[in-house]
């Protein structure tokens, strides 16, 4: 009893208790916001017609309530394979590399949103959203300008295009083992 009284009278101990309580509450609030956050699709009115149509056609068709994260991941990887095809069409139409980069980014972003919407575990989705919030300052990953910078050069656009068709090999390998 005496040790408890000394603990509660210690200003440092009280500060630590309140500090950790504030952290727990803050993390709880972040999780609650991440769970209730609803992603919006990117506006397609500034995209080339080919790209806008492709972005609008990205939808995960839920076959059953038994779809798991790996089934969704396979769908996501299949969608990623379509990006080079669409970019090739844009190149054939002489669309500038900057617009192709915006298209690649938009396609990948929409795929991310659709995959997360289809995921069965709200907890896992909230963890992904919190990771993106901490990494990029947004629940749904980076914004285009974060990827290319304030004064982009052509190589920045090529970097966005190249990264749009890459996926996380560790996640893919985990799902291959399933």
> Count of residues for the chain?
178
> 31 with 108, same domain?
no
Confidence of residue 31 (pLDDT cuts 50, 70, 90): low
Has residue 82 been placed in a domain? yes
Q: What is the mean pLDDT of the chain?
A: 85
Phi, psi of 155 (to 5 degrees): -65, -30
Are residues 56 and 128 part of one domain? yes
pTM of the model: 0.78
Task: Please tell me the predicted confidence (pLDDT) of residue 147.
Answer: 93
Task: Tally the domains of the chain.
Answer: 2
Per-residue pLDDT of 55-82, as tens digits, reads 999 988 875 556 788 899 999 999 999 9
Residues 12 and 91 in one domain: no
Shared-domain flag, residues 56 and 111: yes
20 pLDDT tier (thresholds 50, 70, 90) = confident
Query: Is the domain of 107 the same as that of 140?
Result: yes
79/116 same-domain check: yes
> Residues with Cβ < 8 Å from 30, sequence gap 6 or more?
130, 133
Can you give the pLDDT at residue 19?
Answer: 78
54 in the same domain as 137 = yes
Long-range contacts: 90-95, Cβ < 8 Å, 24+? 90/48, 90/50, 90/51, 93/48, 93/50, 95/48
Could you list the residue range(s) of the whole structural domain that residue 156 is in?
A: 49-177
- Determine the pLDDT at residue 85: 95
Asked if 108 and 54 sit in the same domain, the reply is: yes
């Amino acid at each position: 009893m005496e040790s408890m009284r000394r603990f509660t009278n210690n200003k440092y101990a009280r500060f630590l208790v309140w500090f950790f309580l504030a952290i727990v509450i803050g993390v709880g609030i972040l999780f609650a916001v991440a769970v209730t956050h609803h992603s919006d699709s990117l506006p397609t009115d500034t995209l080339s017609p080919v790209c806008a149509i492709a972005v609008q056609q990205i939808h995960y068709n839920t076959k059953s309530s038994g779809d798991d994260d790996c089934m969704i991941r396979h769908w996501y990887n299949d969608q990623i394979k379509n990006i080079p095809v669409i970019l090739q069409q844009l190149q054939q139409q002489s669309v500038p590399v900057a617009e192709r980069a915006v298209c690649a980014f938009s396609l990948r972003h929409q795929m991310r949103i659709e995959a997360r919407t289809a995921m069965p575990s709200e907890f896992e989705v909230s963890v992904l959203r919190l990771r993106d919030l901490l990494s990029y300052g947004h629940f749904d990953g980076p914004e285009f300008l974060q990827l290319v910078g304030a004064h982009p050069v052509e190589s920045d656009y090529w970097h966005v295009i190249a990264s749009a068709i890459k996926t996380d090999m560790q996640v893919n390998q985990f799902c291959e083992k399933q």
